[in-house]
Amino acid sequence: MARMHVASSTMPEGSIISVGEGLYVASPELCFFQLANRLPLAKLLRLGLEFCGTYTLPANNAAQEDPEMKEKGFKNRPPLTSVERLSSFLARSGGTLNQRYLQSVLRYIANGSASPMESRLLIVLALPYRHGGYGLPLPELDAPVKTGRPTKRSENKKSLSKLNRDEKDYRCDLYWRNNKLAVEYDSDIYHLLPAQKTKDSKKKNYLLSKGIHVISVTRLQMRSVLEVESVAMQLSACLGKQLRHKRSAKWLEKHMQLRRQLGI
């Protein structure tokens, strides 16, 4: 079904993209800001993290037939946009968009989310108390942690080459770099397999050897308000930030609403 939209003012350059002969679509930036007026905050943040992340969710039944989509529930792909490009588009939109509100929205979107659950976890942890979150600082997503080079001169070029390849393997789902603090999400699909468990163990041991504190979160924990709160308390202690929410009835109502909007 086609729906007509009329713009009464000039849109920023790059709002419309040509995808074929005589065929044009809204850019990811325009699409995001168009939906900002129609989606609740949590769903808008989910969309922004997906656009700026490296995954996409199924849009229709045909997409669900994709083997990768059927196996994981999502498909990997390059980012459609970035926080920087969204910010630039917003700045160039002039008075056509609600600048103050949308600037506040972009504060809780980060580049690089590698899965829907990582996005959900970030939103719950970083969103302010007034929206049902825990108000923790925004972490990096899918953040690389560089391995240290060998100090012995006797290391040959082959070892150095292998080490450089290994550097790409160590990435943290959520990472507070200045605090050397990482959160790893362990999904039910991959992380229970023997090969993946071995890989996870090697990665965790490496991070610990570099003085990085690692907290693991499972899908079962994400479903529990008490378990997520326990994780938030551990993180706040490591970050030197005191949680200010009092588990009041009002906050809990907002938190449960946030969970429903995120599909947790």
The mean pLDDT of 39-57, rounded to a whole number, is 96
Q: Average pLDDT of the chain?
A: 84
Max CA separation in the chain (angstroms): 69
Percent of all residues in the chain with a pLDDT value above 90, rounded to a whole number: 55
pLDDT at 54 exceeding the cut of 90: yes
Asked which of 57-61, 147-151, 216-220 is least confident by mean pLDDT, the reply is 147-151
Residue type, 97: L
Could you give phi then psi for residue 37, rounded to 5 degrees?
-85, -10
**In the block, residue with structure tokens 């906050």:** 251
Instruction: Identify each DSSP E strand in the chain by its residue range.
Output: 16-20, 23-26, 55-56, 75-76, 140-144, 171-176, 181-186, 213-218
pLDDT-derived band at 151 (thresholds 50, 70, 90) equals very low
**pLDDT in the model for residue 183:** 95
pLDDT at 218 exceeding the cut of 80: yes
pLDDT at 231 exceeding the cut of 60: yes
Distance of CA 27 to the CA centre of its chain: 20
pLDDT at 192 exceeding the cut of 90: no
**pLDDT in the model for residue 226:** 93
pLDDT at 92 exceeding the cut of 80: yes
Distance of CA 68 to the CA centre of its chain: 19
pLDDT at 85 exceeding the cut of 90: yes
pLDDT-derived band at 166 (thresholds 50, 70, 90) equals very low
In angstroms, what CA-CA distances link 75 with 50, 61, 185, 224? 11, 14, 17, 26
Could you give phi then psi for residue 24, rounded to 5 degrees?
-130, 145
Alpha helices in 170-218 (DSSP H): 194-209
Secondary structure class of 71 (helix, strand, coil): helix
Alpha-carbon distance of 30 to 14, in angstroms, equals 9
pLDDT-derived band at 239 (thresholds 50, 70, 90) equals very high
Terminal CA-CA length for the chain = 31
The mean pLDDT of 95-101, rounded to a whole number, is 82
**pLDDT in the model for residue 157:** 45
Could you give phi then psi for residue 204, rounded to 5 degrees?
-65, -40
Percent of all residues in the chain with a pLDDT value above 70, rounded to a whole number: 83
Residue with the larger pLDDT of the pair 6 and 99: 99
**pLDDT in the model for residue 94:** 78
| CB-based burial label for 75 (10 Å; 0-12, 13-18, 19+) | middle
**Nearest CA-CA partner of 97 in 11, 4, 3, 13:** 11
pLDDT at 64 exceeding the cut of 50: yes
Alpha-carbon distance of 243 to 229, in angstroms, equals 10
**CA torsion through residues 202, 168, 186, 175, sign:** positive
Alpha-carbon distance of 15 to 42, in angstroms, equals 24
pLDDT at 69 exceeding the cut of 80: no
Distance of CA 78 to the CA centre of its chain: 14
Please tell me which of 85-99, 123-137, 199-213, 243-257 the model is most confident about, judged by mean pLDDT: 123-137
Residue with the larger pLDDT of the pair 168 and 206: 206
